A = this chain, B = another copy of it.
Amino acid sequence: MDVERKNAGGRAEAWGDITPDAARRLVSAAVHAFAERGYHATTTRDIAGRAGMSPAALYIHYKTKEELLYQISKVGHRLALDILEGARDGEGTPAERLATAVRGFVRWHAEHHMTARVVQYELGALGEEHHAEVIAMRRATDAAVRSIIEDGVRTGAFDVPDVRGTTVAVLSLCIDVARWFNARGRSTPDEVGDLYAGLVLRMVGADVAGS
């Protein structure tokens, strides 16, 4: 899977598709600045400085600070959505596909925790149109996971009294990895992914009903 290969390369690779190089450097600088001081406390001058560029050079690529946040949010949501839709449409039983979804989603939030925090915590700073676009991607994210859970309920592999609420809980558990994950901590992204895949299968009753 293309997304997997890209993620395996580490955080910087998240922006691999953004060209030219100057734009990519600006996005990376913006992520660091927003994560450190927050969106509202960051100026385009701060971002240009971090990228080793002049404010005028930044302006060639991004007209406003909000455009940078939008770019970060769009790319971040797109990569996360690719992981979940890939799992939904992949081979295997509902339990196998849910485990694949959780492993990939957790790994993304652990490896890219700085980007993920900006994406999650600064959502309210997006302009109206951009906000609406990102909300639509978030609905698709939710729908991908819900669809796997519904498949499992339909085949009898899962026992889930509240599919909507459980979907929210599964996504929330994975997303919050970005808040607490520490690259110098005891667990690797893959170890957290494996643990969480097991916990989520228990949440949907896959252990009880057999899958």
User: Which A positions have Cβ atoms within 8 angstroms of B?
Assistant: 37-41, 117, 120-121, 161-162, 164-166, 168-169, 172-173, 175-177, 179-180, 186-187, 192, 195-196, 198-199, 202-203, 205, 207-208
What B residues does A196 contact at CB under 8 A? 169
Q: State the number of copies, please.
A: 2
The residue that A202 contacts in the complex, of B38, B39, B165, B205, with Cβ under 8 A, is B205
Residue of B nearest to A123 (CB): B179
- A41: which B residues are within 8 A, CB to CB? 37-41
- Residues in B with CB closer than 8 Å to A121 are 117, 121, 179
Q: Which residue of B lies closest to A207 (CB)?
A: B208
**Secondary structure of the A contact surface, majority rule:** helix
**A176 touching B187 in the complex, CB below 8 Å, given contacts A192-B165, A195-B165:** no
Chain B, residue nearest A173 (CB): B173
Given contact pairs A165-B192, A172-B180, A205-B207, enumerate 20 new A-B contacts (beta carbons under 8 Å).
Answer: A38-B39, A39-B41, A41-B41, A117-B121, A121-B121, A162-B195, A168-B180, A169-B173, A172-B173, A172-B176, A173-B173, A173-B176, A175-B176, A176-B176, A199-B203, A202-B202, A202-B205, A203-B203, A207-B207, A207-B208
Q: How far is the CB of A35 from chain B (nearest CB, A)?
A: 10
Contacts of A38 in B (CB 8 A): 37-41
Interface centre among A38, A187, A207 (most CB of B within 10 A): A38
Looking at the assembled complex, report how far the CB atom of A162 sits from the nearest CB atom of chain B, in whole angstroms.
6
Q: Which residues of B contact A168 (CB under 8 A)?
A: 180
